[in-house]
A and B are shown apart, each in its own frame.
Chain A
Amino acid sequence: MAKPIVELNKLVKEYNNKQVVKGISFSVNEGEIFGILGPNGAGKTTTLEMLEALRPIDGGTATLAGIDVASNPEKIKSLIGVQPQTPSFEEKTKLTELIEMFSAFYGEKVDPHQFLKEVHLDEKADSYPEQLSGGQRQRFSIAAALVHGPKVFFLDEPTTGLDPQARRNLWDLIREVRDRGVTVIMTTHYMDEAELLCDRVAIMDEGQIIALDTPKNLIKALLKRGFKKSQHVEQANLEDVFIDLTGKALRD
């Protein structure tokens, strides 16, 4: 039923003769939110950058929508969207102009007003990005990365350094992207985020995939091995209190 859109086969990356990604294989299905989890230095970002055709692949193969990444970097770039860690734009440039510019960079023309309407930013069409609120800027940054209608959307630790409200806002945005039929691949080191958001997660450590399944199945498997949490689990935590008191929606 699930159709793979991204497939990795024994993918390797070396720096100074040392493998940082050690021949990993997995596939991501069309329309899912796929998370890559792991501590710093596990090779998450490197893996992502190889799939984005930003870094040469040193061994194995990766395909995206059936196209070999290593030999077709230009084609791959037109099929993917990427949310950078620090969404930043040139100043004094209207949102409409940025949309026009980014679509032109892909060799395409879009109606910027229509496009901004679809992402609910039409009221800000003539604003500059530096005039937007944090939430609006997140929304715009994601929209700008999707201007050319990519099939796969990458996010590298998108919520690192964000406050709880901004994180929740971003989760909603990521779900919106998925609902538009775009496959999402993201890295994170927040377990709660992965559990809430991702359909499936791959856990990476020292350049290898050590587990891959749905969050539910991973937890089930752990419990089956006889794991018991030492502490009684509360029905809510402090973050829930904070969100409840300050309101769920991101403050603008």
Chain B
Amino acid sequence: MNIRKSLLPVTTYVRIDVKRLFRDKVAIFFVFLFPLIFLFVFGSIFRGDNDVSFRVALLNESNSAFSKEFSDEIKKNDIFKVDNEVTNIDLAKEKMNRGQIDATIVLPKSFGETKQGQNYPSGEAKVIYDQNNQSAGTTLNSIMEGIFKDINQKLVSTPTPFTVKSESTATKGLSQFDYTFTGILGFTLLSLGIFGPTSVFPRLKQRGVLRRYHLTTLKVWQYFVGNVLSNAFVGLLSVATMFIAALTIFDLNMRGNYLNLIAIVILGVILLFGIGLAIGGWARTENQAAPLAQIATLPMMFLSGVFFPTFLMPELLQNITKFIPLTPIIDSLRMIVTENASLLDLGPQLAVIFGWIVVIYLVAFKVFRWE
């Protein structure tokens, strides 16, 4: 059989399978709307500011002009989000305990008064923080020190031979959304790749549709390639929809090359769909497929950086998660989006992806059943 003749079943199937998808409202929901809803929910949580801000309570117990001016400064400062409802220390402690505010700044009675024999105001501000939120406390402490240093400099001029200045390497700050987005992309590919085929194939078997295909000269590899291609196409459309929403609504900073991105998305679909194909191709009923689909998805959902970056995990766990199929996909997407990584930079990730593809498809071919 020549090549064109053996590809005819594949191309015909892909064309009709894609058309069929657009007639199916449920499929459209899961491919396009569901990821968008997911994107909006997570996007709104992680939306926006590049700057870190602290929710603080400000208790000004002093009547001095300086303390008045100082608290106005704090309220105007972008770093602080002052909770104006808090007027006493008890309420402040309660809110800190609940995590509603990060810390409390107390300006005591004598704060900002000019002591006898001095010609400048002085005082000591207190930063109170919850034991569970030490990092916020210490960070706030150093921010306050910085502010006071500027004021001190103005009031009492002293030479400062050594100073330190910090500078961000990024030309344009990356928002938390930029990191979250690639996790959402990974999740979309995961659900497209696994939940689709693990429910569709057993259903087609039970209705005898696949048995009917088996009666023809259609070969397993042709059916596999046809399904992979139509799903890769649908996956790209889904990712494109999410990109448009992310770029226009959430100001995504896309630093990388779109061709690299497309390549990774296609490889991602091939790999994840292969897992779904192995499970759905083996199972005779949906009941057989569902638990396996869960077993396959759950670790990937929680260990591959969908919800939080893998570099926050303990090192031992990181060494394992690196080899979970979804991890290199999400890592590659993130490195392309946030670091403009080239395919060469992604060598280790690509090696894991290709390794899994070989293994998964060998298994899928071995266990596939037409009925």
Contacts and interface: CB of A to CB of B under 8 A. Distances in A.
Contacts of B204: 90
Nearest to B24: A92
B370 to A, nearest CB: 9
A233 B12 CA distance: 56
Nearest to B6: A107
Contacts of A101: 12-13, 16
A100 B12 contact: yes
B20 A93 contact: yes
A86 B208 CA distance: 7
Given A101-B13, A107-B8, A77 B209 contact: no
A165 interface: no
Contact of A90 (B209, B211, B215, B217): B209
A127 interface: no
Given A92-B23, A101-B16, A84 B9 contact: no
Contacts of B19: 97
Contacts of B209: 88-90
A148 B8 CA distance: 14
B9 to A, nearest CB: 5
B214 A54 contact: yes
Contact of B216 (A87, A90, A106, A109): A106
Main secondary structure of the interface of B (DSSP, over half): helix
B20 A107 contact: no
A107 B9 contact: yes
Tier of interface size on chain A? 20 to 34
Nearest to B23: A92
A104 interface: yes
A67 B23 CA distance: 43
A78 B217 contact: yes
A100 B17 CA distance: 12
Given A52-B215, A77-B216, A84-B211, A104 B12 contact: yes
A82 B212 CA distance: 8
Contacts of A84: 208, 211-212, 215
Given A77-B216, A97-B16, A97-B19, A104 B208 contact: no
Interface of B: 1, 5-6, 8-9, 11-13, 16, 19-20, 23-24, 204, 207-209, 211-218, 222
Given A90-B209, A105-B217, A105-B218, 16 more contacts: A77-B215, A77-B216, A84-B208, A84-B212, A86-B207, A88-B207, A88-B209, A89-B212, A91-B20, A91-B24, A92-B23, A100-B16, A101-B13, A105-B216, A106-B217, A108-B8
26 contacts: A52-B215, A54-B215, A77-B216, A77-B217, A84-B212, A87-B212, A88-B207, A88-B209, A88-B212, A90-B20, A90-B204, A92-B20, A92-B23, A92-B24, A93-B20, A97-B20, A100-B16, A102-B216, A104-B9, A104-B11, A105-B213, A106-B216, A107-B9, A108-B8, A145-B215, A148-B216
